[in-house]
Structure 1
Amino acid sequence: MNRMVTKRPEHETIYQRVRDMILFGEVVPGQPVTIHGLSDMVGTGITPVREAIRRLTAEGALTTLENRRIAVPEMTSDLLNQIALVRLTVEPELAKLATEHMKTSDLDALEAIDATLDEAIKAGDVRSYLEANYRFHFALYDMADAAILRRIAEGLWLRAGPSLRVVCGRFGTTSLTDQHRAATTALRRGDAAAVHQAIKEDIQQGIAFVRQTLDP
């Protein structure tokens, strides 16, 4: 029997492309861009980009400026404190829940992503580092089977992700470390409490780096 393959609508593809540009630092926080400029960057027409901007603005990943310009919001200390509060509540819990559903093949995939991340750090490849870091966390969170918590986490990453690009620009990748190895080691033991702690410390470390980039 032939299976019908459903093609992703163009507007959804463009939304994902613009979203990734924000997540992985292709659009710098505070840098004004126009709809036409963003369309040129994505290589598509105005209409799907306008729809992507509408959705991303509603999600807090973009803000509207004067003269029909848009920008990724710049991080502030108050905003970072709010993001930290929710991330440190939601994401370690997702990691803990994931431990209950983890299969060996899932863990192997996580370790492969983490190896890619380590190579990106060594090579100073900021884009690959940011992408692998995101993939690791959300591959883990997907295993939690907790759709509401995952959606909250993804919204927070859209707001916080661009600031990690600023961190990499200021400090480079060689100063970056993570708690992913501690998390995967704990996952192999089935130690949910240790997984929870490793992800909590990983988030705290990232927040501390972002805080150093903020004006006093």
Structure 2
Amino acid sequence: MSEKPAKLPDHQRVYRALREMILFGELAPGQPVTIQGLVGVLDVGMTPVREAIRRLTSEGALIFKGNRRVSVPQPDMAQWNEIAFARLSVEPELARLATKNIGVPEIARLIEYDEQLNTAIDRGDVRGYLENNYRFHAYLYDLAESEVLSSIANMLWLRAGPSLRVVLGRYGTANLPDKHVEAIDALKSGDADRVAAAVRGDIEQGIAQVRETLLADKI
């Protein structure tokens, strides 16, 4: 009989839950929330919420607003361009490094994430799209076995995710090109340069969508 997985400590569970709320846009850029409000939403005590906020603030995913309030940063065009530059510098390289560690099981898992993503697109499921898009990239980058670059990518996704959620909330999931197929095909052939190029193209489309929205009005 298999053992049940160990229950996560409250501080770790709350950190993960709050991180996902930011990553998948449940907290919009600039939206203030109170610590007490998060205690109610997450159904935990004050201490683990404060610890989660402290960690996420240090990662740049939250900022303090005073009066026990925090919010997700609201990037302007200059900040978004910096996020874009950093993502396009780090993430294609992670994809390149991951190529050498990809085999049949890993490709099968990436295909599964991509299929779930396509189902979300067909259904107009923004949350499903964001979750499976993140899973695809996070799994691929983990395979790079680069602790430094992966930690930078994780921080950048926390900065980018809420803004992309706003864009998709406005315009939906229609007409989102699937660059993941190109990446998977390149992974099958072990072509690291093509994998990096496909991931770069995938990132660029999301960056462009947010940039267009910022030009029209502030997110």
* TM-score (norm: length of structure 1): 0.95
Distance across 2 between alignment mates of 1:193 and 1:106 = 18
**Residue type of the alignment partner of 1:44:** V
Q: Which runs of 5+ in 1 are unaligned?
A: none
Structure 1 position 174, deviation (Å): 1.0
Question: Is this contact kept in 2: 1:24–1:130, CA < 8 A?
Answer: yes
Q: CA RMSD in A?
A: 1.5
**Residue type of the alignment partner of 2:99:** T
Task: Name 2:204's counterpart in structure 1.
Answer: 204
Task: Name 2:213's counterpart in structure 1.
Answer: 213
| Cα gap change, 1:127 to 1:4, in 2 (>3 Å) | closer
| Deviation digits for residues 161-181 of structure 1 (CA, Å, limit 9, x no counterpart) | 111101111111113223100
| Deviation digits for residues 115-143 of structure 1 (CA, Å, limit 9, x no counterpart) | 00000011011111100000000110111
Task: Name 1:65's counterpart in structure 2.
Answer: 65
Task: Name 2:39's counterpart in structure 1.
Answer: 39
How many equivalent pairs are there? 215
Structure 1 position 29, deviation (Å): 1.1
Structure 1 position 38, deviation (Å): 1.2
Q: Which residues of 2 match residues 1-216 of structure 1 at below 5 A?
A: 6-214=6-214, 215=217
Structure 1 position 75, deviation (Å): 1.9
Structure 1 position 45, deviation (Å): 1.5
Q: Which runs of 5+ in 2 are unaligned?
A: none
| Deviation digits for residues 66-114 of structure 1 (CA, Å, limit 9, x no counterpart) | 3221110112111111111111111000001111110100000000000
- Following superposition, which runs of at least 4 residues in structure 1 exceed 4 angstroms of deviation? 2-6
Distance across 2 between alignment mates of 1:119 and 1:43 = 31
Between the aligned residues of both structures, percent identity stands at: 54
SS in 2 for 1:65: strand
**Residue type of the alignment partner of 2:17:** R
Distance across 1 between alignment mates of 2:22 and 2:165 = 10
| Deviation digits for residues 164-210 of structure 1 (CA, Å, limit 9, x no counterpart) | 10111111111322310000011111111100100011111110001
**Residue type of the alignment partner of 1:15:** Y
SS in 2 for 1:57: helix
* TM-score (norm: length of structure 2): 0.94
